[in-house]
Amino acid sequence: VKAGYTDASIEGEYDDGTGEISDEVSFGGVRLGAGGEIDLSSNYAIRLEYRYSDYGNLELFGTDTGIGVSRNQGIITLLGKF
């Protein structure tokens, strides 16, 4: 089981024909996860993990877009033990 803080950033650029507008937004949020490990033999195992990150609403060019930003990750790892 895991819980923690995560940080992400998004860069945006737009050219309206009269000039280029750009902005970079960094925002943080909460990460939660759970996982486990299954032994296949004395030398190999599989690790399964799920992670969920929630960053709240996205704000671009100083305006709250009302778009919620989150990420779901599933990870499968084959382990070799020696």
Res. 9: pLDDT tops 90? no
Assessment of whether the complete model's pTM goes beyond 0.75: no
Q: What angle do CA 35, 38, 44 make, to 5 degrees?
A: 125
What digits encode the pLDDT tens for the residues 31-52?
Answer: 999 999 999 999 999 999 999 9
Count the domains in the chain.
1
Q: Where are the beta strands (DSSP E) in 16-80?
A: 20-39, 44-60, 63-80
Gyration radius of the chain's alpha carbons: 19
Domain of 18?
A: 2-80
Q: Give the list of residues 6+ apart from residue 26 with CB closer than 8 angstroms, or none.
A: 7, 8, 9
Bridge partners of 75, per DSSP, are 49
Element (H, E) at 62: none
